[in-house]
Amino acid sequence: MQEAEEYVERKFKQYYEKNAQRIRPPPKIENREFGFLLFREGVMIRHKAFKTIADLHSFVRTTTPAHVYNSTAYYVDPDKEMDKKGWQGADLAFDVDADHIATACKYIHDKWTCKSCGTQGKGPCPDTCPKCRGERMDEEVWLCEICLERAREEVIKLMDFLTEDFGFSRREMTVCFSGHRGYHVHLRNDEAKDLGSDERKEIVDYIMGLGFDSNSYSGLLDERLTLGEYSQEHRGWLGRIRRGAYEILTETSENELVNWGINRRIAKAIASRRDELASAWIGEAKSRRLEGVGPTTWKTIAQKAMERESAKVDTVVTTDIHRLIRLPETLNAKTGLKAVEVNIESFDPFKDAIAFEGEETVYATDAPQFRIGNQTFGPYTNQTVTVPTAAATLLIAKGKAVSKRE
């Protein structure tokens, strides 16, 4: 492990010597707090401040940090201790991470090991070992295309909420890849800047669909006590609920409807008239009245539609108004990839976040298949391979390979 860390640190040092000056200053750099996690012993340096971007560049060059963060907040004195900094506001920040999204492929590429009894398993790491109830778990997560693609979809949903519902402009937002399993969305806007933690919490709840109360939601059901049809004009959550309900009605099996607590007889009625219902939803058929389908069932479907249409974001990151967040154009020691500002529509993490050039020979112990640029590598088991430096660094950082030093 020590060796792996030294390898990654060496690569970072070479990279920053040449490329530190590519780091661009966050707006109002002089009012931001910076934090750095160092390679050795995981020391965290906080409460750093820089007057100019050149100062930051030379700091990064001389210390070679494993991770670089800056505050979403603006402070009068960012280098003082927390209570004396003088909070002036903060960007509205969101973190979308594959860790918070359930994907089936986690059962293929994510692993955990109980540190007490050695039990191993695949998929998301449980809180306690199922065998010995031990709590110290080693978690190995992989960054995979499917997980990242799901995260990207969540970002797109999130941005739709921010523009369509909250009325922010795309120009006020930047999206950054974190260099590992997720994305950060920064919203810089005078109106958002002085929102308090409670107010940010309401925004998060809105985007995640938390606290939805079908009885309080005005206009959810129409005068016939059904969800009503879906049209392009429906915007905000009402539009999303109807869109989601339409998808649910065309996709969900009778058994699943029953699992949601819908009466078997009603579930059967819905499932048997699926096509008819679905076309009624988009206004193509006349009758959308279903015998026995009453407001309670519609509300259950609305609730499910909401879960489907919500965007999964990290609740803590957005509500914490003193948060440190990764700085773009810096390297992530978990992967050797670069955190970068991206165009979410066209971004390819395995191409656009590559930091290193050249090739290396490594001994790969156990690695799933992955892609760098247009080339696919692996899976590898106990073999010596020559791969691009970016791939080698990724494998070594993830503990899936050791370097072969000549």
Partner 1 sequence: MLSKTDQAKYPVVPEAVEFVRARGLTIDELADRSYTAILDRAEERLRQAIETGSVSSEWRDDGVEILSFPVAVYLTTILQDDWVRRRFALAESRRASRFLISEDAERIVEIASRTFDWKIQPPHKEESRTTSGLRIGFKNYVRNAVRIREPKWKLINRQLIDGFVQVSKEEASRLLEEEIQSRILSRIGERVEEPSFLEERIERLRKLVMQRKGTGAFLELPRTVVFAAMPPCIRYLYDSVQSGRHIPHVGRFALTCFLVNVGASEEDVLKLFKTAADFDERKTRYQVEHIAGSKGRKTRYTPPKCTTLKTHGLCISPDILCNSIAHPLSYYRRKIRSVFEKDRQHARS
**Binding residues vs partner 1 (CB under 8 A):** 82-83, 127-128, 133-136, 164-168, 191, 195-196, 198-199, 201-206, 209-213, 215-219, 235-238, 315-316, 319
Pick 236 or 379: Cβ nearer partner 1? 236
Nearest approach, Cβ of residue 385 and partner 1 (Å): 36
Residue partners of 234: CB distance under 8 A and separation at least 6: 242, 243
Which one, 209 or 328, has the nearer CB to partner 1? 209
390, amino acid identity: A
Q: Which is nearer to partner 1, 136 or 170 (CB)?
A: 136
How is residue 370 written in tokens? Answer: 């992955």
Instruction: Check if the beta carbon of residue 329 is closer than 8 Å to that of residue 338.
Output: yes
203 or 353, CB closer to partner 1? 203
The distance of closest approach from Cβ of residue 79 to partner 1 in the complex, given in angstroms and rounded to an integer, is 17
- Residue 185, CB half-sphere, CA atoms under 13 Å: how many? 32
For residue 19, the minimal CB distance to partner 1 (Å) is 33
Q: What residues does 114 pair with on adjacent strands?
A: 137
Q: Which is nearer to partner 1, 133 or 170 (CB)?
A: 133
Residue whose CB is less far from partner 1, 47 or 201: 201
Measured over the CA atoms of residue 181, residue 200, residue 172 and residue 86, the dihedral's sign is negative
Measured distance CA(318)–CA(312) in Å, rounded: 12
Q: How far is the CB of 74 from partner 1 (least distance, A)?
A: 18
Contacts of 259 (CB under 8 A, 6+ apart): none
Reduced to 3 states (helix: H, G, I; strand: E, B; else coil), residue 363 is strand
Give the integer Cα–Cα distance in Å for 194 and 242.
34
- Closer residue to partner 1, CB minimum distance, 195 or 248: 195
Spatial distance between the Cα atoms of 228 and 13, rounded to a whole number of angstroms: 60
CB of 239: closest distance to partner 1 in angstroms?
Answer: 9
Closest CA to 207 of 168, 246, 149, 174: 168
Quote the least distance from Cβ 317 to partner 1, whole Å.
11
- Minimum CB separation of residue 88 from partner 1 in Å reads 17
Token pair, residue 43, equals 């020391």
